[in-house]
Structure 1
Amino acid sequence: MNAILHRFQLMLSEVSLSASEKVINLLPEILFAIVVVFAGWIAAVLVHHIVLWILNFFAIDKLAAKTPLGSILKGAGIHKSISEILGLLVFWLIILLTMIIAADTLHMQPVSEGLSVITSYIPQVIASLLIVIFGMLLAKFLQMLCLQTLSKLDIGYKKYVGKAVQIVVLTFVFIAAVDQLGLNLQYILNGAVTIISVFLLMLGLGAAFGARTVLDNAIACQQIRRQMPVGSSVEIEGVSGTVKEFTMTNIVLEGNGVTTVLPATHFLIHTYTKK
């Protein structure tokens, strides 16, 4: 019995001695890991504030407010601003990098590999978010540019064309943003490209027919201008008045306090009387 107790005491002392030796050997590494984590936390806080200052300087929140992104986030239950979200992503990126260094120091390879996988996605999320913000701004800009250009041509369906341009740009923006996350969207991308190509073809055909009408009126307007200068009194199809001005595609008549706008081709198709 005494021999068994003696052997148990020897085993217990050996285990305690081995554990204490491992702790003593790991103590510098543990202390270094603690210092790394503390320093990383301080660095993360400082960088977080710097990122917020930079984003506020460039008015990222004001730019994002001009896009539907803010309402989309609120609809998803996220009430933080874009700058706050980006700042938090950068903060946790630094924290996770610090934890990876600490895990490597303590030879915790599985933990380090797991954190590395998570960390690798944060820059992709940041890049995707920036792609969405600036892509939405680009889509809005192109929509307004299209509306202004078509307004000068007196095209009635300019709003639909502008909206179509915005939708096409947003489609490619969201595909690029999701692709940045590393998701395989090859089949979806091929389908989207096919649908957009067909849509653009139909839009191009419609624009071609519409442009033909605009072009016909523009040419007719130049012809009528030479025959009927501003100030001429005319009568056409029961409408009489004085030529007030020529637009790019229309002729404006004014008579009896009424202003009438007629397409220039109207004067080529119908007989008019010049007084």
Structure 2
Amino acid sequence: MDILATVVAPWQAFLTKLANFLPNIFAAGVIVIAGYFFAKLVQLATVKLLAWIHFEQAAEKSGIKEVLEKGAIRQSPSELIGLLIYWLLVLLVMVTALNALGLPVAAVVVLILGLLFANFFATAVQTACSNAKIVQAENFGKVAKYAIVVFAVGMAMEQLGIATEMVLAAFVLLFGAVCLAAALAFGIGGREIAAEFLRKWFEEHKRGR
């Protein structure tokens, strides 16, 4: 009987906790589903509103659209703004759902903000490299994105109290990735400059003869 009680007791405790937690899970699920559709609706409404006030024409005249196209960004300026608003609303929904579950909010906030910033920073890096006529612009954007994602995951784990030392490792990785990207950018860009310099030098040398 003692052995049976020892085996059954943990399962009874688990099922009791699960039964008490089910209403919170249901509430969080409803919040996430309703919040997702609401965020999508607001995103579409934002894009429609910006189209109605002729925001695209203003972006084209100001040169913003051209810069985005050079960076191989498929979304229009209106769609990018709608996407930003969508993710901000998703963040708010996730925070509300976590409150319903009674889980740490800070970790998810850090993670979502990190992922959001990683996407936009990668886009900015790719656009800047494309406008600078660097061939590997897309790869530089990916390096920047993955480095920030790793850093965000490390920060979220620190908030959860998991592997605090990983935050330091993620920061070192981020710093190393940025240095590597900068070195590659300099190498690729510098190679073209060096080739042009040598070509001019040989032409002048031949003329001198």
Match among 51, 68, 79 for residue 73 of structure 1: 68
How far did residue 47 of structure 1 move? 0.9
1:29 maps onto 2:39 in alignment = no
* Pairing of 1:1-275 with structure 2 (within 5 A): 6-109=1-104, 112-117=105-110
Larger RCO, structure (CA 8 Å, separation 6 or more): 2
Query: What letter is aligned with 1:40?
Result: G
Distance in 1 (alpha carbons) for counterparts of 2:55 and 2:110: 29
Distance in 1 (alpha carbons) for counterparts of 2:63 and 2:71: 13
TM normalised by structure 1 equals 0.39
How far did residue 9 of structure 1 move? 2.7
Could you tell me the percent identity over the aligned residues? 28
TM normalised by structure 2 equals 0.51
How far did residue 42 of structure 1 move? 1.5
How far did residue 79 of structure 1 move? 1.5
**Residue number in structure 2 paired with 1:151:** none
Distance in 1 (alpha carbons) for counterparts of 2:111 and 2:60: 29
Query: What letter is aligned with 1:17?
Result: Q
Distance in 1 (alpha carbons) for counterparts of 2:7 and 2:23: 25
**Residue number in structure 1 paired with 2:142:** none
How far did residue 90 of structure 1 move? 1.0
Residues 36 and 102 in structure 1, CA contact (< 8 A), matched pair in contact too: yes
SS in 2 for 1:66: helix
**Residue number in structure 2 paired with 1:252:** none
Distance in 2 (alpha carbons) for counterparts of 1:87 and 1:118: 21
Q: Return 5+ residue gaps in structure 2 as ranges.
A: 121-209
Distance in 1 (alpha carbons) for counterparts of 2:33 and 2:14: 26
Tell me which protein shows more helix as a share of its residues.
2
Query: What letter is aligned with 1:39?
Result: A
Give the number of the structure whose alpha-carbon radius of gyration is greater: 1
Q: How many residues align?
A: 118
Query: What letter is aligned with 2:15?
Result: S
Query: What letter is aligned with 1:9?
Result: L
* 1:75 to 1:9, Cα distance in 2 relative to 1, 3 A: farther
Residues 93 and 119 in structure 1, CA contact (< 8 A), matched pair in contact too: no
Distance in 2 (alpha carbons) for counterparts of 1:41 and 1:94: 8
How far did residue 41 of structure 1 move? 1.0
Could you list the per-position Cα deviations for residues 233-269 of structure 1 after superposition, in whole angstroms to 9, with x for gaps in the alignment?
Answer: xxxxxxxxxxxxxxxxxxxxxxxxxxxxxxxxxxxxx
* 1:70 to 1:8, Cα distance in 2 relative to 1, 3 A: farther
How far did residue 21 of structure 1 move? 0.6
How far did residue 10 of structure 1 move? 1.7
How far did residue 120 of structure 1 move? 6.6
Distance in 2 (alpha carbons) for counterparts of 1:103 and 1:74: 38
Tell me which protein shows more strand as a share of its residues.
1
SS in 2 for 1:85: helix
**Residue number in structure 1 paired with 2:162:** none
